[in-house]
Structure 1
Amino acid sequence: MLSINPFVELSSFISPIAMQIFVLVMVALTVGGTILDMIHKKNAKYFFENSKKLKKSATRNVPTGEKVTIIAKTLAHDVATSAEFCGVKRRAAHLLGMYGTIIFWVTSVIMIFSFPTSTTTPAVYPILWHVGALMTCLGGYWFWFFLRVDVRSEGNPWNRIVMADLFVLALVATSTFGLLWSFFQFSGSSGLSSLFLILFVLSNIVLFGGVYWSKFAHMFYKPGAAIQKHLAEADGSRDYLPEPADKPKQFGLGIKRSEPQNY
């Protein structure tokens, strides 16, 4: 099962071109939804205007080479390792979901565009496809049932769903239905295989078609905000915040009374 390309059997009754068009449509929905979200929330406008304001209060001019270094370090540390999460569990769940999703999507594109009908698909791609889906499920379900702020810190039930949960639920559903489709296809259960294939397709449509209403576009804003923060620290503008005090932090004994659950 793990070494079998599930899209090969699918190509026997769905044209590879149709599958490729579907992928391109999902990409278009993602781009369109992100652009609409940026227009609606005016994120890009805020970043550019705030950047201009910060330059006026900068105390030093940061050389281009230093800017490139700061951006590279930010991407390698803040983005690639999800360093903004102070909690180890939340950080681990996020990394599992993030890298699992990337692996799942990339291998899906490779198999659909390069090996849609080939029975000699290199085993590494379907194996990574299944592993990526499993990683996404592990990170997603871990987050959903145990690490969500409104569940762990606010005491809300795990089954309370709001619009902001659309991205996580659709993401986990896509990986789950993909795995179930692959399993029942491998086991020869055509009925269940068809059922989970339909659910797999629908969950993808919800995931990528719901970008405007979900937190999907948030993934593109966070790196930009992190980069701007570090550049502001380098040029001295510091987002209009005061410099760190020389006096050590003193929180008192109260901070030891409960486990920190800040996100």
Structure 2
Amino acid sequence: MFTNPFAELSFISPAVMQGYVVLMILLVAGGTILDMIVKKNAKYFFENSRKAKAQAKRSLSAAEKGTLAAQTLAKEVLTSGEFANPQRRLSHLFTMYGFILFILSTAILIFGYPTSQSAGIFPLLWHLGALMLCFGGYWFWFRIRVDVSAEGNPWYRVVRADIFILSLLAMATSGLIWSIFQSIGLGGLSILFFVLFIAATTALFGTVYWSKFAHMFFKPAAAFQKRVVHAEGSRENLPEIPELTDPAVKQMYPDIPEYMGDKPPYMGLGINREAPSHY
């Protein structure tokens, strides 16, 4: 089973497959740039950065910024430590690393081994990435997303933000089924699921502007900037969280105890520190 599925596509030349991969890369780049221009995400980001810099109480050295960048890489990027819910975090990690494995191994197989069935370990990584992606993605869609304490949406309610996860799951699922049917000699069904695989892949990379695909590029930069703002002592673009021991707070909220167990101090003050989000 763990053979290069692309090597069996004798009716498609390697140049066509490679051209398709390049086209998908261009669609991602174009969609991300369009998202930045139209939605003005970059402009908003740099304006907030400029305002925070003006309010900074200290300047950070290059070494300090390097440390903050490493912390961002270790927590928000590599381990998704911003997710408080451990199930959501694990689901995200399976999906993220499965996607990376799947995409990288696809590119290696198409550009490095377009006609080789064995292709070393990369066919195994391709299938492993697809399985990890499916595990994490379906866990999110059918378990976490319908959890009232997390997202609170039924699995059958689809909104525009779901384009990314649904096309991602369709790509990985149809790719696996295509590979299975191809390996057992079901030619007609394998062609059907190969067409579905291409359709889902095109939908994933062609809808970057409308989905939350571009979010994965903005998220690390925003997390790093938040760390820098905090380290510089600037006023963050977040509501101020009062101390419950402050006499003024006690006077405003006489019914709130000073100790609230494992709840954060802003619970009960009408402040929503975290807003739910999709992939």
Deviation at residue 157 of structure 1 after TM alignment: 2.4
Residue in 1 that maps onto 2:74: 76
- Aligned pairs for 1:215-234 (under 5 A) are 215-234=212-231
CA distance in 2, matches of 1:155, 1:24: 38
Residue in 2 that maps onto 1:7: 6
Q: Does 1:24 align with 2:32?
A: no
CA distance in 2, matches of 1:33, 1:19: 21
In the alignment, structure 2 segments of 5+ residues that lack a partner are: 247-256, 265-273
TM-aligned CA distance change 1:166 to 1:13, over 3 Å: same
> Do 1:170 and 1:207's aligned partners in 2 also have CA atoms closer than 8 Å?
yes
Residue in 2 that maps onto 1:200: 197
Structure 1 counterpart SS, 2:236: helix
Per-residue CA distance 1:75-134 (angstroms, 9 max, x = gap)? 111111111100000000000000000000000000000000123411x10101000000
In the alignment, structure 1 segments of 5+ residues that lack a partner are: none
Structure with the largest fraction of helix: 1
Q: Does 1:47 align with 2:52?
A: no
> Do 1:55 and 1:237's aligned partners in 2 also have CA atoms closer than 8 Å?
yes
> Do 1:229 and 1:238's aligned partners in 2 also have CA atoms closer than 8 Å?
no
Residue in 1 that maps onto 2:269: none
In structure 2, which of residues 257, 260, 263 is the aligned counterpart of residue 252 of structure 1? 260
RMSD (Å), alpha carbons: 2.4
Give identity over the alignment, percent.
54
Highest RCO, 1 vs 2 (Cα 8 Å, sep ≥ 6) = 1
- Aligned pairs for 1:154-233 (under 5 A) are 155-233=152-230
Output the amino acid matched with 2:73: L
Q: Which moved more, 1:125-134 or 1:240-249?
A: 240-249
TM-aligned CA distance change 1:191 to 1:250, over 3 Å: farther
Output the amino acid matched with 1:46: Y
Deviation at residue 41 of structure 1 after TM alignment: 1.2
Residue in 1 that maps onto 2:249: none
CA distance in 2, matches of 1:222, 1:42: 15
TM-aligned CA distance change 1:159 to 1:81, over 3 Å: same
Structure 1 counterpart SS, 2:12: coil
CA distance in 2, matches of 1:201, 1:93: 25
> Do 2:144 and 2:151's aligned partners in 1 also have CA atoms closer than 8 Å?
no
Deviation at residue 172 of structure 1 after TM alignment: 0.5
Structure 2 counterpart SS, 1:196: helix
Deviation at residue 68 of structure 1 after TM alignment: 1.2
Deviation at residue 24 of structure 1 after TM alignment: 0.3
TM-aligned CA distance change 1:64 to 1:253, over 3 Å: closer
Output the amino acid matched with 2:131: L
Output the amino acid matched with 2:34: L
> Do 2:102 and 2:127's aligned partners in 1 also have CA atoms closer than 8 Å?
yes
> Do 2:146 and 2:155's aligned partners in 1 also have CA atoms closer than 8 Å?
no
Structure 2 counterpart SS, 1:239: coil
Per-residue CA distance 1:191-250 (angstroms, 9 max, x = gap)? 100000000000011000011100000111111110000001111114166588595994
In structure 1, which of residues 140, 144, 147 is the aligned counterpart of residue 141 of structure 2? 144
Residue in 2 that maps onto 1:121: 119
TM-aligned CA distance change 1:140 to 1:250, over 3 Å: farther
TM-aligned CA distance change 1:164 to 1:251, over 3 Å: farther
TM-aligned CA distance change 1:20 to 1:244, over 3 Å: farther
TM-aligned CA distance change 1:151 to 1:5, over 3 Å: farther
Deviation at residue 62 of structure 1 after TM alignment: 0.4
CA distance in 2, matches of 1:50, 1:97: 31
Matched pairs, number = 256
Output the amino acid matched with 1:129: W
Deviation at residue 251 of structure 1 after TM alignment: 5.6
Query: TM-score, normalising length from structure 1?
Result: 0.90
CA distance in 1, matches of 2:228, 2:219: 14
